[in-house]
């Protein structure tokens, strides 16, 4: 996929629930013109929007309404719904990539179960998708998400599901995925950390147990508290902040600018300024605002450097240890039982994951 056209390629069709019913005898052209007029009537020229919404303008006059959200927040869901209903956008862009799009169509109960259930299959999938070290780091970050989910009884990404639902109710509204593919982010993040930093980060994530309240989450919508938290994070892991936050600020800015372009009106195919709603975590809003008018090079943040020799040796050691543990388990289990164990699909899949890559 051409990453520079990601906002165009990574489109997801909204469900369309809530669209107005039209007279059956209308031609296609008449129906399109009627829907265009209906949306124009619904669109507020000077909308009163939540404080979490910023407004950015493109050179062609197109407008971006950027909604900063907390990913575990009922209030953010309301902010997203209010904004989309008020401005009736041409495009909605969310902070998701194609690897996380499944959360848009899962119900809350299924997502809660998925977030809490980190099993062998998920570990194998993460390792196959991202490589050993990046995959294990993804599992540790899933553990953090599961911890917050368990504390709050709320699945992440509610604001994205709300945006997907509301976009389906707006005539002609397109829905785009605006985030950098998560495997690229994880691989670049791991490559940027030293071995000692990786160990410290893994230790901190493994033993995360502090209680979290809904009030704590809502405080994340205050820019001063968020910037203070980010400053603390930069001091401890500046390379991690660069890859996970700053680089994604650039990527999100790029995809939002791609979406914020003139659109054709159905009556006469005339180009008119677009109205776009972007839904991103509040931590990305300052970076997007800073990058909005800058020249951006996306290719620089899409490349993944090959693993260092130390990283390769560490991966080989971990693979060897896991193979040894599996072999010892088969030995203790006995010949027939050991063969039966090796024939199980999860074990065969794990062996396939641990097989060394060809030189």
pLDDT tens across 166-176, in order? 999 999 999 99
Our CA angle for 163, 219, 284, nearest 5°, is 55
Band (359; pLDDT cuts 50, 70, 90):
very low
**Residue range 114-143: mean pLDDT, rounded:** 65
pLDDT tops 90 at residue 211: no
Q: E strands of 164-251, at which residues? A: 174-177
Q: Positive or negative, the Cα torsion across 304, 306, 308, 313?
A: positive
What does the block give as tokens for 204? 């901190």
348: three-class secondary structure by DSSP: helix
Band (308; pLDDT cuts 50, 70, 90):
low
How far apart, in whole angstroms, are the C-alpha atoms of residue 69 and residue 220? 8
């Amino acid at each position: 996929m051409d990453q520079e056209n990601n906002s165009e390629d990574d489109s997801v069709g909204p469900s369309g629930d809530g669209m107005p019913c039209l007279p059956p005898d209308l031609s296609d052209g008449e129906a399109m013109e009627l829907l265009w007029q209906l949306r124009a009537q619904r669109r507020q020229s000077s909308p009163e929007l939540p404080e979490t919404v910023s407004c950015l303008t493109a050179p062609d006059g197109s407008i971006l309404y950027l909604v900063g959200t907390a990913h575990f927040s009922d209030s953010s869901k309301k902010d997203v719904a209010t904004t989309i209903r008020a401005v009736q956008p041409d495009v909605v862009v969310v902070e998701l990539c194609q690897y996380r799009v499944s959360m848009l169509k899962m119900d809350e109960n299924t997502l809660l179960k998925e977030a809490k259930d980190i099993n062998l299959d998920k570990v194998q999938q993460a390792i196959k998708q991202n490589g050993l070290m990046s995959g294990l780091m993804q599992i540790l970050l899933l553990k953090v998400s599961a911890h917050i989910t368990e504390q709050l009884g709320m699945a992440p990404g509610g604001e994205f599901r709300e945006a997907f639902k509301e976009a389906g109710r707006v005539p002609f509204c397109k829905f785009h995925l605006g985030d950098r593919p998560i495997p690229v982010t994880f691989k670049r993040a791991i490559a940027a950390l030293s071995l000692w930093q990786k160990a410290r980060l893994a230790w901190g994530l493994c033993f995360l147990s502090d209680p979290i309240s809904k009030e704590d989450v809502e405080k994340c919508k205050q820019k001063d508290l968020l910037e203070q938290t980010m400053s603390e994070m930069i001091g401890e892991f500046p390379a991690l902040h660069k890859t996970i936050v700053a680089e994604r600020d650039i990527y999100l800015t790029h995809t939002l600018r791609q979406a914020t372009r003139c659109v054709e009106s159905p009556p006469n195919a005339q180009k008119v300024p677009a109205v776009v709603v972007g839904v991103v975590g509040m931590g990305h809003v300052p970076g997007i605002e800073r990058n909005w008018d800058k020249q951006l090079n996306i290719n620089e943040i899409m490349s993944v450097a090959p693993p260092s020799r130390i990283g390769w040796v560490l991966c080989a050691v971990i693979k060897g240890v896991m193979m040894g543990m599996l072999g010892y388990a088969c030995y203790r289990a006995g010949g027939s039982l050991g063969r039966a164990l090796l024939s199980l699909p999860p074990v065969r899949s794990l062996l396939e994951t641990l097989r060394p890559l060809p030189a």
